[in-house]
Structure 1
Amino acid sequence: MYTHEKNILTAGKPLEQTGKALVMVHGRGATAESILELSDYLDVTDFTLNAPQATNHSWYPYSFMAPVSQNQPALDSALALLDETVKSIKAQGVDSRHIYLLGFSQGACLTAEYATRHAQRFGGLLLFTGGLIGQQIDTGNYKGSFEGTPVLITTGDPDPHVPVSRVEETVKIMEEMGAEVTKQIYKGRPHTILQEELSLAKTILSAS
């Protein structure tokens, strides 16, 4: 088991020029560099990009549907790193309404879990194939209100890692906490990000 060293890559214009940030969270086995490449397809030239790197290229060791205890202390360390990333952006004078969070697969699960534990009016959440973490979801962990934050959440049907049922549970909890959720389930889609998903993400990003 491991904790995560602070290693955050940045790209794009400086925050004092853009006034808004996109935090991009990579999937299992991937890198901060690889998730930053996704920005080429998202029209984010007016954003400052932040991509934390997971130690050992994985945010936590087992499935997001495993008992939470099996994924500790890596999970808590990963959540703390995301919190530190967001707080450092806020400390530079950026309101949460101008902070967007994006994740793919394991990164989408981590992003969903972090945002719901710290619910507030974010600019938007882009959860490409992900859902809330745990064998059973512990709603006692979730606090605050999303105050109308736009959320995109997707998965394939079936997906080898993220079952539709967990996406449905995640949508219900986020909506109860005030999020405006767009859910897309793609029949037979491989474990990837489709052009349509990128187009839906662009709609949320361009509303800033």
Structure 2
Amino acid sequence: MPTLSLVHITQPPRKALQTASPLLLLLHGVGSHEGDLVQLAPFLDGRFFVISARAPVTLAPGMYAWFEVQLDPVRPIINPQQAESSRIRLVGFIDEAIETYRLDPSRVYLMGFSQGAIMSLSVALTRPEKVAGIVAMSGRILPEIAPMIASPKALRGLPIFVAHGTEDQILPVHHGRAARDLLQRLPVALT
């Protein structure tokens, strides 16, 4: 496997295409690893070239994060420098993956869970030209990215699916509702 800036696992498309494959980049939550969400690959559209990336911050053996966080049900306390570094690193990793695996740059999708959803939203809202759509499960929008949110013109029509469990004890549902409320004020295609 080629060496890129993030450790990752790949699942090539199960269906042959006449053109470059779309990329589905899976981003795990805090304390997990790249082997977590890739288990979903067999159940996803077979046209995708699936990449499951490992977050760069090591918490413990086999446990990684996109940024360190002290969990608090009202407002988690994050390491904003790590969050920004991971956002920038993900943007670069997308470019590396497209070039290395010869993927379609116009069909890049992000799917994240918890902290991976946070990173998906951060990339999509600040660099919408890099993604064709995202799925954010049980995440939130970091207030730190507010000054970097792209223009309404750049965000117009960007497909974003947000889901959040009502019984989530780690990142309570009010964070998902706040993300929904912010996204409803933007010209994205929110589902």
TM superposition score category, shorter chain reference: 0.7 to 0.9
1:85 to 2:59 alignment: no
**CA contact 2:124–2:130 (8 Å) conserved in 1:** no
Deviations 1:91-143 (A, max 9, x none): 446233x1110001111111111211112383321111111124xx6521211
1:119 to 2:119 alignment: no
Deviations 1:9-29 (A, max 9, x none): 222149996421101001111
The equivalent of 1:177 in structure 2 is: 186
The equivalent of 1:35 in structure 2 is: 37
Aligned length: 172
The equivalent of 2:108 in structure 1 is: 99
Cα separation, 2, equivalents of 1:132 and 1:15: 35
1:109 to 2:148 alignment: no
The equivalent of 1:76 in structure 2 is: 84
The equivalent of 1:6 in structure 2 is: 6
Deviations 1:139-184 (A, max 9, x none): 21211423312211111224223333332332233343321111xx
Q: Which one-letter code corresponds to 1:74 in the other structure?
A: Q
Cα separation, 1, equivalents of 2:129 and 2:46: 25
The equivalent of 1:163 in structure 2 is: 172
Cα separation, 2, equivalents of 1:128 and 1:74: 21
**CA contact 1:79–1:110 (8 Å) conserved in 2:** yes
Alpha-carbon RMSD: 2.7
Greater helix share, structure number: 1
**Normalised TM-score (structure 1):** 0.70
Cα separation, 1, equivalents of 2:155 and 2:170: 26
The equivalent of 2:52 in structure 1 is: 51
**CA contact 2:139–2:164 (8 Å) conserved in 1:** yes
Equivalences for 1:129-140 in 2 at 5 Å? 129-134=138-143, 138-140=145-147
Where in structure 1 are there 5+ consecutive unaligned residues? 183-208
1:22 to 2:30 alignment: no
**CA contact 1:117–1:142 (8 Å) conserved in 2:** yes
3-state SS in 2 of match to 1:130: coil
Q: Which one-letter code corresponds to 2:8 in the other structure?
A: I
Taking a change above 3 Å as real, the CA distance of residues 6 and 40 of structure 1, as seen in their structure-2 partners, is same
Taking a change above 3 Å as real, the CA distance of residues 115 and 76 of structure 1, as seen in their structure-2 partners, is same
Q: Percent identity?
A: 19
**Normalised TM-score (structure 2):** 0.76
Taking a change above 3 Å as real, the CA distance of residues 178 and 106 of structure 1, as seen in their structure-2 partners, is same
